[in-house]
Structure 1
Amino acid sequence: MKNLMPVIRKLRYFIYCRKSSEAEDRQVQSIETQIRELGEFAEKNGLEIVDIIYESQSAHTPGRPKFNEMIQRISAGEANGLLVLFPNRLSRNPVDAGMIIYFMDLKKLVEVRTPSKVYYNTATDKAFLALELIFSKKDSDDKSEHVKTGLRTRYLKGLPNGLAHIGYFNDMTREKGNRDWYEDPVRWPLVKMIFEKFLEGTYSVRKLYFIARDELKLTTPPRKREGGKLISLSYLYFLLRNPVYAGFFYYAKEDGEVVRQDLDKKLKRMITEDQYWQIQDMLGKKGRPRSQKRNLLYGGLIWDEVNNCAVVGDPKFQIRCTACKHKFSYINQDQCPKCGIKIQNMNRPKFKNYVFYASVKERKSPGIKAVSIEEKKLNGEVIDYLVQNFQISKGLADWALRHIDEIKDKELQENKAVTRSNEQSSENGQKKLLRLLDMHDRGLINDEEFSLAKRQISPIQGNKKLAEIENIDWVSEAKKIVNLSIEMSELLENGPFEKKRDALVKFGSNLLFNRGKVRINNTKSISAYINGLQVARSEIVGFEPREYVVNKGESGEFEGKFPALIALADDFRTIDWVNEYPFPSIALAELKELLADPTLKN
């Protein structure tokens, strides 16, 4: 007789423990604790343990080596049960979760046990286990999204992710993930000194490393488990290539696009962006995304009035070998092309960076040596011109801006008064014309009398000289010039490239080149402004626009002293502003035509 009793399979278990260093497992017990807890539970309940399998791996994506090995061993019949601390230890992704349920369907996995619940191979328990694993996946996705949102918020605040870079500290009074940066009073000046020494062009990276290590004793910031050690050579290279010290950094968006972000404005910059890119050229590295086109401060802004052509810049990045004295370009070079010595092994090499501007025709003409001017000299001449002729004090600028607003308000009121007068005159004229038509229709006057009377009713002409109420162009242009006059020379001397360039374009005047000499051909508005300052200088003994201070409440007295400056308002109002700034004057294709236009000359 057949035995109809069901076959009871003996349960043999794998203990599986997992912990990840990622955010999903920050609160999960350590692997050692998991093994102890599950071991005690198995002993107490008389469970047969085949093996203990553990790994430090995220379960967010498939591909865990130990997990896959365990699945293969279950498929081979070594065990038919799993003992875990929580279901989410098994999986946080749909692929591995599906594998667990699938093996239960195949009867290769009889149960999944935790200290608080047993999931048997029944439809209900498998559904509950699947839900547990699905919610583990959702919990992981939610945490991932929270982390990404936090990182995006941090990036937009102008702070990179992670620990503050050397020279800065994290604000430990704030919660983790939301800690601002502030300057490290000990390391910040030391790191700045390293940048300054490297920019001198007389130190190789290796020589600079010895100075940082042996003389400055520069150490990495102390951390909980590491840090506080003297910097290494590789760390110094990382420091020199790090754009954070120039006030910007890069981060990758979810679609993989690399985005530039400016550093928090509250943090001081150690170097300018121009200096950062100079360092990258000196290191022989192109760095992160940057146009291959060299940024030339006066590129496209100068015209050769002798040869009637554009003046272009030619950048030079050179170093003289300390061994063979050969001069060569260090762009994309790491050694002397003549003797082969590495740049980093040279004894205090001198890096030189120049930009020379010369006429296009002279450069392209064989046998003719092009006369050029170096950018530093050119910039110095422009700054001297601005200081002597254009720059005014902050106090004088404030007075001018206030007075411009007063004139604008007065003109608005005049416009309104004239408009009301014109409307009244027009209304009266319409009434007279209607009365005249009525008299003609009633036969009180004949056609000849009607025509004669109609001609005597003059049409109302508006005041065409007054600006539109809503759009007074001279006001915005005058304010722009006043604002430029207090900041432009400082910007050209110490500002970043983008602001220097923007100031030159706003200034709008042409730079005319003549055999190595440059003169400034101002626009009408700049000429009117400078002429006003010159007249004021001549009328008032000791008047110096760069130093003059207007005390509060003395606007009326000041106004009385400077009729020449006040008269500038009329000059500005009579300028044709639409045609005054056809520049970026500066479009090379149009420059020749613009210079020939007599309306643009003084």
Structure 2
Amino acid sequence: MPPNGRPCTKAQADVRPRAALWAFIFFIHMSLIYSLYCRTSSLREDKQTLGNPAQERVLLEEAAKKNLKIGRKFIEKQSAYTTGRPEFNEMLDQIEKGKSNAIFTYHLTRLARNSFDGGRIIYMIDQGLIKEIRTPEKIYTDNSDDKFLMQIHFAMAKKSSDDTSQFVTRDVESKLLKGEYPGMVPIGYLNIDKDGNITKAQKDKDKYLILLNLGRPLKREEIDPVDGQIVRRFFEEAVKGGRALPALRKMSFALGLRSRKAGKILSRKAVWNLLTNPYYYGAIEYNGKIYTENIQHEPLISKELFDRVQDVLHGRARGRYRKHAYAYGGCIIRCGGCGGPVTAERQKGVVYYHCTGNSGACDETAWTREDLLDQQFLPIITNFSIPQNFLKFAFKKVRILYSQETQVSEASSRKLRKEYDTHKQRLDALLQLKLSSKNIDGNLLSDDEYLAQKAVIKKEMQDLEELLHSRNSEDLIWIDDCERFFDFTQSIAKKF
């Protein structure tokens, strides 16, 4: 009986408990602070899942409809197949600190695909740290049925990931046994799809037209007609030695090598990985194992050149880079006293030769002028001549080398000019945006932002101009020097 002493009707008796229940539910609902969690992965498990921006949009629209209180957003792109997701762990740490007590996500599979993370979530529900997990389709709370369903979802997600992992492993092993690279090939090569086209990530119309001129069906892995020649040249320069990794990095940029994703200068790690990748001599390294059988792609360099580059990189060889060029340098003469190598030095414009003493104590301590050595070599050179047949053979080889050198230089220059044109288009687009009628108040691009972006683009264009100028002025007419040298050898004694 109510306090006023009047008996209540049956309808009133039914309404009051229900009103109290709804009030309690409303209180619980208003006390929930949700952590919004979105996740996508590059693995096959998420091929049919919305991207993070789409997930976030759906969740925020749902939160607005249901008047949900969102505390903080946690968004990441990482597989949930293994533990160690930074944003996910941060979200659970925040919940343990009491900064939120519920999770709002697109689907339970976004939260966990491994047994540890799934078990941790359910344990936190048991401890009362997580009051509710909500998706657009269902709400999961601390009751046996909901937790049982969550365990089923997590188990099914893990089973799906395990199956995917097995399929990927089998696919990779199958490719390796067939001699194919299981992924995007290194710089200097192109992936060709089953229809005979360059894959989208590497698509280039000019390169494709060059490949068509080969007059044969394209392999699944083809040498890049532009970057391939540049990579080969890069190996040939690296084997000379005398350059540390930073210098090699600058050289790769000058030749025209760029990162595929950002189009920027290669990092030190990328340069090191390029020069130590056995793929270039016709092998495939995967998970620490090198495969050499049934290799489908054509090598860019020889195994001998690759090994010599490794010796230079690991300090086992000094390379063949020389700072000075002397007539009798390079150890072509030996000391008459101890048989050790002879070195040269320039003193007051005069070149002198003397024993290095590397073979031990030597009695020959005097230095010999270069003109005196000339007189000693003259009797030998007088009887020296190069057969005409050999000269024809040598000059033919020189022309082939010159042709290859010219192709590399032209390919590198074309790539640099194309990059320069792209920067010019970016600069024009930036100016159009600045002068646009929609940017009168500078709401799209302020003066400071315009000047800052313009300075960056202009600096990159200036660097490219310098590279193009140096390449255009580069002395590639060394074949003329070879012709003059061969002519010189025919009358060397007279001209000596």
TM-score calculated relative to the size of structure 1:
0.41
- Structure (1 or 2) with the greater helix fraction: 2
TM-score calculated relative to the size of structure 2:
0.49
